[in-house]
């Protein structure tokens, strides 16, 4: 089972998770907040990820962060695989610079911080 760790305090991040679920990302992906128990466990198991302020995808033994995590998720959504593969052609340092810029300003953007409560069907994707 692959786990997607995200910033649970970020309105944009919460919307992105619901977007992934709404676009029928494979049910082999589950979601956990970086601030939750699973996120704390990740920091204990992988101390190098303790202070990371980014999306983290752990899929088997492979860990994806920043733009690599986004690409990995896109490649697992029907009708978005081509976009995921296409982004691989952009050099990582450019992709991550764009990712870092957005991550830095995401809290100041006008995304509502209210989070949609998941339905019973959507809850199966969440670990905590």
pLDDT at 107 over 90: no
Over its C-alpha atoms, the chain yields an Rg (Å, rounded) of 14
Measured distance CA(87)–CA(74) in Å, rounded? 10
Measured distance CA(20)–CA(69) in Å, rounded? 13
The structure tokens listed for 61 are: 């033994």
pLDDT, one tens digit per residue, over 77-100 is 989 999 999 999 999 999 999 999
Across the range 102-121, mean pLDDT stands at: 72
Pairing of strands 56-59, 62-65: antiparallel
pLDDT at 113 over 80: no
Which of 60-64, 102-106, 119-123 shows the lowest per-residue confidence on average (mean pLDDT)? 119-123
Across the range 15-27, mean pLDDT stands at: 88
The predicted model scores a pTM of 0.88
pLDDT at 11 over 90: no
């Amino acid at each position: 089972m692959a786990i997607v760790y995200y910033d649970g305090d970020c309105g944009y991040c919460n919307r992105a998770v619901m977007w992934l679920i709404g676009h029928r990302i494979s049910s082999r992906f589950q979601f956990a907040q970086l601030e939750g128990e699973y996120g704390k466990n990740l920091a204990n198991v992988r101390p190098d990820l303790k202070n990371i302020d980014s999306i983290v995808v752990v899929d088997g033994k492979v860990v994806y962060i920043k733009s690599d995590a986004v690409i990995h998720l896109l490649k697992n959504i029907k009708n978005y695989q081509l976009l995921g593969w296409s982004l691989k052609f952009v050099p990582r340092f450019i992709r991550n610079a764009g990712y870092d810029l957005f991550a830095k300003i995401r809290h100041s953007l006008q995304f509502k911080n209210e989070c949609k409560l998941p339905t019973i069907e959507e809850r199966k994707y969440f670990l905590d």
